[in-house]
Every structure is written in C-alpha cells, then in structure tokens.
Amino acid sequence: MLIAELHKKDSEIDITLNQLTWLASLDFLVPIGSISTAFITQRVGSRLVMLWCSILYVTIWLSYSYSTSTTMLMTAQILYSLTRGALKTPTSTYVTEISEPRLRGSFLATCHLASTFGTFFSLLMGSLLYWRTVALINIAFPIVSFIVILAIPDSPMWLASQGRLDEAEDALCWLRGWARTAVHVRSEYQSLVESFNRSSFFSTVAHDESSEQNSRKLERLRAKLKPYSQRSFYLPLASVSLIYFIHFFSGVSAIQVYSMLIFREMDSPIHVSVATTSMGAMRIIGALVVFLCIRLSGKRRLVFGSLLVAGGCHLVISGVGFLLQHLPPQISPESTPYPWVSPIAMIIAVFANSSGVETIVHMLNCEIFPLSIRYIGSAIGGSVGSVMQSIMSKAFLYMLDGLTLPGLFLYFGLMNGVAMIAYYFVFPETEGRSLKEIEEHYGGIKSLTDDDGRNERREKNI
C-alpha cells in the first residue's frame, strides 16, 4: 500500500525510483535483527522478546503516520525490518515448542493466518482510509498482543533448558489445561527432563575437557562451535537455504509487494484496490486451508499442489500478456475477455501459494533444528530467506523493465517447475512427527518416510 502511494506522480513525499526500490527491499536488515535477537532469546526466552517487540511496533506505526520526508520513512522502515526480524524466530519457535506433534502444523499455520489477516486488514483499510490513518489504527494490534502475551507462560522446553524444571512443569500443565496427572502430560514432562539432563551431561563433559586443558580459549570456543559443525545443523541449514532461494525467486513475495503496480501494468478491468483486497482475502482463505487440511494431507501434498496451480497461473498470465502484445491492430483488447484472465489468474496464484508453499516453508525452518541451537539455527535459516526476499524485491522493478510483464511471469512459472523438482528431494514430511524424530532424521539416525508419517497421523486422529 505504501509503495503504491509513493509511486504515484502526485505523491505527497518526493521519492526517486532508487529510493523506492530501497524502501521495498530493506528486508535485508531482517537477518541482523533475527540473528542478534536469537542469542538474546536463548538467554531470556521468547515471551520477553515478544513483549519488547510489541512496544517497538507501537513506535514504528507512530513513525509511519507522522513521517514527512523520505528520511523519516526510511528510518521507520529500517526499525520495522529490524523488529520484524527480532520477532520472527521467537514467535515461530514458541509455537513449535508448546505444540503437540499432532497439532503443531495447524498451530504454526495460525502464524501465517495472522500475518495474512494483518496484510488484508491494512489493504482493506487502505482502500477506504488515508494511509496515515491506517498506520494509526494498526497501533491497536501490538497493544492487544502485549496484553495477551503477559497472560501466557514461557516455553516449557526453554524453561527446562535453563534448569527451571518446576516452572517448566507448571507451564506444560497450563498449556495442556492443567492436566497434571494425565499420562500424556507426565510422559511429555519426563521427555523434557531427559532432554535437559542430556544437555547438562554434554555441557559438563565439555567444561571438564576445557578445565583439563587449562581452560584455553580456543578449546572453549571449539566446544561452543561444535554443535554448528554437526550434520544435525548444517544439513537442515543447507536444505532450508535452498528451499528459501527457490521460494523467493519464484516471485511469491515480490508479487505481493508490487501487486498494485502489477495490476496497473496489466490494465486490469478490475479496480486496483478491489483486486488487491481480493488478493488479501484469498491469502486468508489459503491460510485457512492449510490450518484445516494439514493434519489430513501432510505438508508435502499441500506444497506440491500449490506449486502446480501457482506455476500454471503464472504461465497463463505470461501467455495472455504475449497474446495481447500481438493482437491485430483492428482488434481492441477491451473487446476481448483476455484482460480479465491475467488479474483473475494472479489472484488464484496467490491463493494457491498461501494454501501451501508460502505457509509451509516457514514451518519447516522452525522444526528441523535441534533444541540446543533451535533459536539460532532458525534465525540463520530465516535470515537466509530474508536476504533472498530482499534481493528479489530490489531486482523486481528492474526485471520488469527488462523482461516485460509477460516475460517476468514466464520466468516465475518456470521457477515453480524447478521448485517442484528440488522440493521433492529436500522437503521431508514432518507433519505428525515429534521434534525428536525430525532431529534424528537430519542427524542421520532414523529417516522420515511419507508412508510412516501418514500412518501415524491416522492413528492419532482415530
């Protein structure tokens, strides 16, 4: 919404094309906020970081609303990118750690659902109200979030990792409805204690070894870095980096950022504000599809289905665009149904992405790293994705100028085909699996299989 307003010739804030592309691509700052906060989160917990970020978001929306220059907008956007990065990992890992395996996918889908609802709400308000007024209205969301977060406990896994086992038990009971005597709650708590004891054992061994070697700094550094040299870290990181690279360079995020500009380039017969609002609504419906279907279908089926539909829509947009460019002079595009095809296909593609790949790639990043380095691993993985997203956002307008709209969507369609091939080999089925099983898969102990995962889900659903 802001990008489209600033791109207008009569924009109230003077801004160059270069400044506009930088404003749209400041996601490259997300990794800084994400990685730096991961170390803090490991020490203070997700809950406290989420409270801090809620306060920062109030400041950000106020800054947007009262900006009078490009410098003020850039400052607000920089703070937004850093805060977004700071909040990204704690939120997702918190949901990952508090959820039961059979519900984890559905609960993680609510993160994307909340995000898409926020985007849709802003677009809807932007079509009805002045953009500065929308920024002021959005202040209500972080205030409500702050109040809600005050009422929830810290993650039991994080509390156990800090040696606060009694608090971990209380938090787990609170999250499971205070079913302290229930067999599955006791079993889950015992697993937490065993994981903590295992971590404590390895920490003690590492400390003793360092003492025997006169506590040399190099040895202590090696002990701290050892988890990052193991297969259980570098294999998930390599997998999620490849997934993010293909995901963002297939245009999923850039199409949403520049949606208003794309609809204008298409000469859409659907009013731009109506089209973008419809697109936001379809993203919400897509996120709901994931929430409702992921326990039955698993993640892989949703991902491949969404890639197939979205890729087909991109190729349709490309084909229609080339067709309109080569219409005979005596035929007016307005006299044909073709101008309607591209905007409708784009809205369907956005729905397809939201009902599969757009939601699920972020879930995987939260699930596949081991507990001892989950915050930092997820932060690094998410940061790789943010860098890819930023590069694509920065390059989008230049690619549009060089390839034209039909050529650009042809590229996006082909990238979806590449994604289907690559994801087949690197995207495991984690739905219904415990975090321990996923860690063992990437550690080379025990492989995950689609059939076993489906059977386990059926048994739990029964």
Q: What is the pLDDT along the chain (462 residues), one digit of tens a residue?
A: 676 677 666 677 777 777 777 877 777 788 888 888 888 888 888 899 999 999 999 999 999 888 888 888 888 889 998 998 888 888 988 998 888 888 888 888 888 888 888 878 887 887 788 888 988 999 999 999 999 999 999 988 888 878 888 888 888 888 887 665 566 677 777 776 665 655 444 444 444 444 444 456 777 767 777 778 888 888 999 999 999 999 999 988 889 888 889 999 998 899 888 898 888 889 999 999 999 999 889 999 999 999 999 999 999 999 999 998 888 877 777 778 888 999 999 999 999 999 999 989 888 888 888 877 888 888 888 888 888 888 898 899 899 999 999 999 999 999 999 999 999 998 889 888 888 788 888 877 777 764 444 444 444 443
Domain ranges of the chain: 7-152+230-325+335-461, 161-215
9-65 confidence digits (pLDDT tens): 667 777 777 777 787 777 778 888 888 888 888 888 889 999 999 999 999 999 988
User: In what helix (H) or strand (E) does residue 150 lie, and over which residues does it extend?
Assistant: helix 140-150
Condensed to tens digits (0 to 9), the pLDDT of residues 166-194 reads 888 888 888 887 665 566 677 777 776 66
- What is the DSSP code (8-state) at residue 372? G
Q: Look-up: residue for tokens 């926020």?
A: 118
Residue 52 CB contacts under 8 Å (≥ 6 apart), including other chains: 86
Query: Is 7-152+230-325+335-461 in CATH node 1.20.1250.20?
Result: yes
Torsion (CA) 370, 376, 377, 378 in degrees, nearest 10: 100
pLDDT the model gives residue 183: 63
> What tokens were used for 244?
């993010």
Query: Which of 356, 358, 351, 347 is closest to 285 using CA atoms?
Result: 351
